[in-house]
């Protein structure tokens, strides 16, 4: 029934999913894990407050990757963070712009931002220009966002999701324009640019942890605990594999091929 070579993988996958489910249920029952504060999330208030003081807008983008490829989980994490930013913008009456590069992101982003504004009783802040679609090409995105950042000089520039090479130009422009910058991705090639060009960064799994923690709900915090315990499971398997492999035992190789 099960495909050969994928059985052990399925067992590990199921174990990790069950661990996460267990910690979610545990958190729901009141055993909420203590999560260290994530500096980037803590600075969101300051970032939006800066926009109020300067009287300038906030820019948000989830980059080129949409929801129809392998980077979808990163885009989803970016959207979760956008929910929080939109509601902070609504609370402080700060105009926000989202630049979309995938057409199906338009209604999603519009809905998130509208809901954020509405939750603070400020639906009138939403305008047709809040979500700008620039086409599906990377140069178009770069040209549009760089031009926006240099002309409008938004107080804060957020970029969370499966971002690609467009981040280099846009974050570079944001740094030159003097915007406070936040960015996060799980794509390794862009970590150096984020670290050098942003005030706050979420790299690798931090992006997913932040997406879960941003709501502050106990069940979501349980997921983060599940992630940490899962890492220990994977580490234990790695150490076991190294020991067995060094001893010349082929058990792990057999398990992987099972």
Partner 1 sequence: MLFYVAPMLFIVFEYYTGVGSNAASALITWGIILSTFTYLIGGFAIFRHHILKIANKNNDWPYSAILMATFASFLGMAYLHQPGYQWVLENVYQPLTILMFGFVGFYTVTALFRGSQVRNIHAGVLITCAVLLMLYNAPVGEAIWPGFQTLGGWLKDVPNTGVMRGVVIGVAIGVLATFVRSLLGLETSYLGGD
The footprint of partner 1 on residues 116-145 (CB under 8 A) is 116, 118, 128-129, 131-133, 135-137, 139, 142-143
Q: How many CB atoms lie within 10 A of CB 246?
A: 8
User: Considering CB under 8 A, how many residues would be counted as binding partner 1?
Assistant: 88
Q: Is 88 in the site for partner 1 (CB under 8 A)?
A: no
- Interface with partner 1 in residues 196-255 (CB under 8 A): 196-199, 203-205, 207-209, 211-212, 217, 219-220, 223-224, 226-227, 230-231, 234
CB-nearer residue toward partner 1: 8 or 52:
8
* Residue from 26, 115, 120, 164 in contact with partner 1 (CB under 8 A): 115
Cβ pair 110, 97 in contact under 8 A: no
Can you say whether residue 95 is alpha, beta or left, with left for phi > 0 and alpha for psi between -120 and 50 degrees? beta
CB-nearer residue toward partner 1: 195 or 243:
195
Tell me the window of 42-50, 52-60, 189-197, 250-258 that interacts with partner 1 (CB under 8 A): 189-197
CB-nearer residue toward partner 1: 121 or 248:
121
Q: Is 112 in the site for partner 1 (CB under 8 A)?
A: yes
**Cα-Cα-Cα-Cα dihedral sign, residues 66, 72, 74, 79:** positive
List, in order, residues 6 or more apart from 6 with CB less than 8 Å away: none
Name the H helices within the chain: 7-28, 39-42, 44-54, 72-92, 105-119, 138-152, 166-177, 191-197, 205-213, 218-246, 251-257
**Rounded-to-integer distance, Cα 159 and Cα 60, Å:** 6
The distance of closest approach from Cβ of residue 28 to partner 1 in the complex, given in angstroms and rounded to an integer, is 10
- Interface with partner 1 in residues 39-78 (CB under 8 A): 66-68, 72-73, 75-77
* Residue from 174, 184, 190, 213 in contact with partner 1 (CB under 8 A): 174
Cβ pair 194, 203 in contact under 8 A: yes
The distance of closest approach from Cβ of residue 66 to partner 1 in the complex, given in angstroms and rounded to an integer, is 8
């Amino acid at each position: 029934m099960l495909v050969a070579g994928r059985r052990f993988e399925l067992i590990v996958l199921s174990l990790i999913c069950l661990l996460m489910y267990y910690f979610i249920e545990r958190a729901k029952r009141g055993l909420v894990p203590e999560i260290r504060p994530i500096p980037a999330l803590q600075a969101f208030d300051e970032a939006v407050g800066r926009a109020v003081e300067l009287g300038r807008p906030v820019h948000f983008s989830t980059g080129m990757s949409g929801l129809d490829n392998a980077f979808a989980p990163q885009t989803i994490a970016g959207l979760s963070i956008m929910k929080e930013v939109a509601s902070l913008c609504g609370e402080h009456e700060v105009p926000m712009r989202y630049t979309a590069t995938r057409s199906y992101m338009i209604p999603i982003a519009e809905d998130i931002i509208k809901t954020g504004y509405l939750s603070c009783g400020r639906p009138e802040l939403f305008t047709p220009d809040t979500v700008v679609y620039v086409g599906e090409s990377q140069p178009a995105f770069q040209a549009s966002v760089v031009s926006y950042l240099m002309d409008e000089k938004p107080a804060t520039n957020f970029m969370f999701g499966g971002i690609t090479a467009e981040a280099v130009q846009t974050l570079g422009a944001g740094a030159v324009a003097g915007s406070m910058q936040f960015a996060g991705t799980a794509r390794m090639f862009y970590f150096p640019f984020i670290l050098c060009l942003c005030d706050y960064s979420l790299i690798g799994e931090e992006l997913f942890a932040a997406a879960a923690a941003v709501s502050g709900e106990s069940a979501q915090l349980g997921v983060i605990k599940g992630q940490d315990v899962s890492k220990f499971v994977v580490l234990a398997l790695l150490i076991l594999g190294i020991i067995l492999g060094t001893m010349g035992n082929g058990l792990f190789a057999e398990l992987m091929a099972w």
